Structure 1
Amino acid sequence: METPDNPLCGEPIQLAPRTPDEPTITFPQPPGWGFMPGKDETPIRGILFNQGLRLHGFTPNAVVTCEDLTGQVGLPSQALAKERAAIIDLVGAVDSEAPGTTSGFPSRTITYNLQGRPATGLIVAVQNAKDRIWAVTVTLQTTDADNPHYVAAKQAILDSLEVRLPDQ
C-alpha cells in the first residue's frame, strides 16, 4: 500500500476471512493511527483510531465491518440498498452519496451526521461465483472534519481499501 505516490499509507492491515468463502479486506494504517481487531462474534472486523487527533472528548476512528447478507438479498445492488437504508434508519437524511466501484465491486460512499459528528461510510457489495453476498463497510467519523491529518488519513483509507474473494 505504501508507494512513492501515497506515503500516507503505512504497512497495510489485512483482515483474514472468518469463513472459506468470505472476502479478505486490506486497508492502510496511516501514521499515528492504532488498530484494534474486532471480536469474532460481531460483524466488526477492526477499528482504526487516532488518539492524537482526539477533540471534544471524541477519538477519530474508522470501523471496518463485513456482514454476510446471503439469504437476505439476492443482488449486490440490494446489499447496497439494505446498508443505505440502515444508515437512514439510524441518522435520517444523508448529506451526500455517490456510486462507485471498489476492487471491481459496486460501492456507494455516503456522508451523514452521526450523533453530531460528520461521518463518511463506504459500502462495498461483494458477490462470489456461488451467489454468496457480503457487505463490507468502512465508516469514518471525527469531531474535527477539517483537520488536515484526519482528511489525509480518511482519503488514504477510502482510496486504498481492497476487497478480494478467495480463488474460486
Structure 2
Amino acid sequence: MGPREPDEPTIALPKPPGWEFLPGNDAGPVRGVLYNQDLRRHGFTPNAVVTLEDLTGQVGLPAQALAKERAAVAAIVGDLDTDIAGTVSGFASRTITYNLQGRPATGLLIAVQNAQNRIWAITVTTQTTDADNPQYIEATRQLLDSLEVRLPTP
C-alpha cells in the first residue's frame, strides 16, 4: 500500500491464495482490507484490516504510539489474551490477541518514526469465526510474518 503523503511509510503485505484486497478510501486511517469469501463461516468473512495513523504531536516516542494503540483496543475489548513485543522491518511492534464480538482476533501494532520525528502507528488486525481453519491460520501467518514497512528514502 503506497503512501498518501510523501513522507509516510509504505506497507507491503502479501496476498495469500484466495484472498482479495479492497483498498480504503482516500480519507481516514483504513488503508485496505484483505478478505477471503471462500473461508466464510457462521455468517462472517475472515479479514485483515490495515490502518495507518499519523500520531505526530500526540505521542513523542514509538513506545508511546504502541501503548496508545494497545490502550485503544483494550478500551473496546477489555483484557487482552496475549501481548508480545517484537519488531517489524526494524520498527517496534506488539502482537496482541483478544476476543472481538465473539471472534478471535490478532492485532499487529507497529510504531514507525522517521528522521524528522514524525510517528505513525500501523495496525493489521485479522479476525475469523473459524480460528482452527488451517487455511486461515496459514494466511494469517503469511500476512503477519511477511509484512514489510519502509520509510521513503531522502
TM-score (norm 2): 0.99
Letter in 2 for 1:100: G
Question: Following the alignment from structure 2 to structure 1, what is the Cα–Cα distance between the partners of residues 83 and 136?
Answer: 20
Moved over 3 A (4+): none
Structure 1 unaligned regions, length at least 5:
1-14
Letter in 1 for 2:22: M
Q: Counterpart of 1:136? A: 122
Q: Counterpart of 1:123? A: 109
Instruction: Report % sequence identity.
Output: 71
Q: Residue 84 of structure 1: CA displacement?
A: 0.2
Q: 1:61 aligns with which of 39, 42, 47?
A: 47
Aligned length: 154
Q: Counterpart of 1:99? A: 85
Letter in 1 for 2:56: T
Q: Residue 16 of structure 1: CA displacement?
A: 0.8
User: What are the superposed Cα offsets for residues 65-123 of structure 1, whole Å, 9 maximum, x if unpaired?
Assistant: 00000000000000000000000001000000100000000000000000000000000
Q: RMSD of aligned C-alpha atoms?
A: 0.4
Q: Residue 42 of structure 1: CA displacement?
A: 1.3
Q: Counterpart of 2:94? A: 108
Question: Following the alignment from structure 1 to structure 2, what is the Cα–Cα distance between the partners of residues 23 and 98?
Answer: 23
Structure 2 unaligned regions, length at least 5:
none
TM-score (norm 1): 0.91
Q: Counterpart of 1:70? A: 56
